[in-house]
Amino acid sequence: MSENIFATGRCLCGQVEYTCSAKPLRMIQCHCNDCRKTSGTGHVSFAFFKENEVKITGETSNYESM
């Protein structure tokens, strides 16, 4: 039987990948000052999933951009 896949993606360098097996519980767009400054846009979009419905693989590390 094949696994349900709602979304997949990876980080900019490709070291970390994720797979979501269900639709998000909630999706929001935040317009606060922190999100606007961090993204350099008018808002940031977030999606929230149940922990057991998201699989993350790869070694994470820090990334800073100024």
In the complex, the residues that contact Zn ion under the rule CB under 5 A are 30, 32, 35
Nearer to Zn ion, 32 or 56 (CB): 32
Nearer to Zn ion, 22 or 44 (CB): 44
- The contacts found for 20-28 with CB under 8 angstroms, 24 or more apart, are 20/49, 20/53, 20/54, 21/53, 21/54, 21/55, 22/49, 22/50, 22/53, 24/48, 24/49, 25/49, 25/50
The nearest distance, CB 9 to Zn ion, in angstroms, is 21
The nearest distance, CB 35 to Zn ion, in angstroms, is 3
Nearer to Zn ion, 7 or 35 (CB): 35
The nearest distance, CB 58 to Zn ion, in angstroms, is 26
